[in-house]
Amino acid sequence: MKSLLPLLLAAALAGHAAEPYQIAVIPKGTTHEYWKAVQAGAMKAQRELTAAGVPVNVIWKGPLKEDDREQQVQVVENFIGRRVSAIVISPLDANALIAPLATAVQGKIPVVTIDSGLNSPLPSCYVATDNREGGRVAARTLAGLVGPHGRVLMLRNATGSSNTEEREEGFLEAMRKEFPGIRLVSTDQHGGVTRDNAYRTGQNLLNRFGRELDGVFACNQPTTAGMLLALRDAGLAGGKVKFVGFDTGVVELAALKAGDVSALMVQDPFGMGYLGVKNAVAVLRGEPVPKIVDTGVTVVTRENLDQPAVHDLVNPPLDQYLK
């Protein structure tokens, strides 16, 4: 019996050492396809780290709708109550989430932001698109399609969402500075956080401006999907009105192939999920992490869709990582 003791002790110690890090990953919402890629990326990091002897358990939970501030705050508070090891989050409001995330950091739960920023330096690391630049590139892409005297409108997303607000600002900044001959016929309408809402706003805008319009910019997935429906309804799809959207999904890609969308600004949500978890674990292990990681944005058109890098970006390996 005595001789078993060292073995039992060693097993207990090994068991203790192998206690997985609990990483809470909190999206802005859980309905849009965009988040599937983020989740798959997070699972890839979990798998890789665990295989490398750093056991990690990703817990995925977010509010249903991307404008439900209270619910996202509650999710954060619940994770603090459960004493997770770290929080990886896309704050749906850059201000409303500061207080609960500050509580996490005070409680020694590090925070990494992904996708959308927080108006605070408290996150250890921020993994996202350079959204202002993404907006500028969208402006240049649309300007190239409508010409120097085109008439364009921009459909906004939601107030408080820092990444889409930066895209909107970047778009307007580049349009005003670089293309002074282009007329911005409407830039203040919000499509909101669902496709259906964006569809209704899109219909109203096209009723008003459709006859004198050359181009449209929509700044994220639901606004792109809603505006697409509105353009089709109004008989303005198929390139009659040039349409630059943001993000991809099954519907947006089919529309690009069909010519109803001229170009898509594609982010790397898979990379955000992956690097968000990787950096959170690095913080926990006392390793240095960069304050900002730019995951890039790519202009995707019918012409470059089949290039291997673009093909991989718009077809993240969801099946491999999500059940």
Give SS3 for 143.
helix
Q: Which of 21, 34, 79, 179 binds ligand BGC (CB under 6 A)?
A: 34
CA–CA distance, 322 with 40 (Å, rounded to integer): 6
Burial of 173 (0-12, 13-18, 19+ CB in 10 A): middle
Nearest Cα to Cα of residue 181 among 154, 140, 147, 136: 147
- Comparison of 155 and 182: residue with beta carbon closer to ligand BGC: 155
The residue at minimum Cβ distance from ligand BGC is 220
Any residues with CB less than 8 A from the CB of 31 and at least 6 apart, and which?
Answer: 64, 65, 194
Q: Does residue 295 belong to the site contacting ligand BGC (CB under 6 A)?
A: no
Pairing status of strand 263-266 against strand 298-300: antiparallel
Residues of span 222-281 touching ligand BGC by CB under 6 A: 222, 246-247
Residues of span 88-127 touching ligand BGC by CB under 6 A: 90, 115-116
Binding string, residues 153-192; x marks residues near ligand BGC by CB under 6 A: ----------x-----------------------------
Q: Does residue 32 belong to the site contacting ligand BGC (CB under 6 A)?
A: yes
CA–CA distance, 33 with 31 (Å, rounded to integer): 7
Alpha helices in 147-220 (DSSP H): 162-178, 195-209
The residue behind tokens 């109004």 is 234
Of 55-63, 118-126, 174-182, 219-227, the window that binds ligand BGC (rule: CB under 6 A) is 219-227
Of 102-110, 135-143, 181-189, 216-224, the window that binds ligand BGC (rule: CB under 6 A) is 216-224
User: How is residue 320 written in tokens?
Assistant: 């491999």
Of 46-54, 57-65, 77-85, 217-225, the window that binds ligand BGC (rule: CB under 6 A) is 217-225
Q: What is the nearest approach in angstroms of ligand BGC to the Cβ of residue 30? A: 10
Query: Which 8-state DSSP code applies to residue 190?
Result: E
Binding site for ligand BGC (CB under 6 A): 28, 32, 34, 66, 90, 115-116, 163, 220-222, 246-247
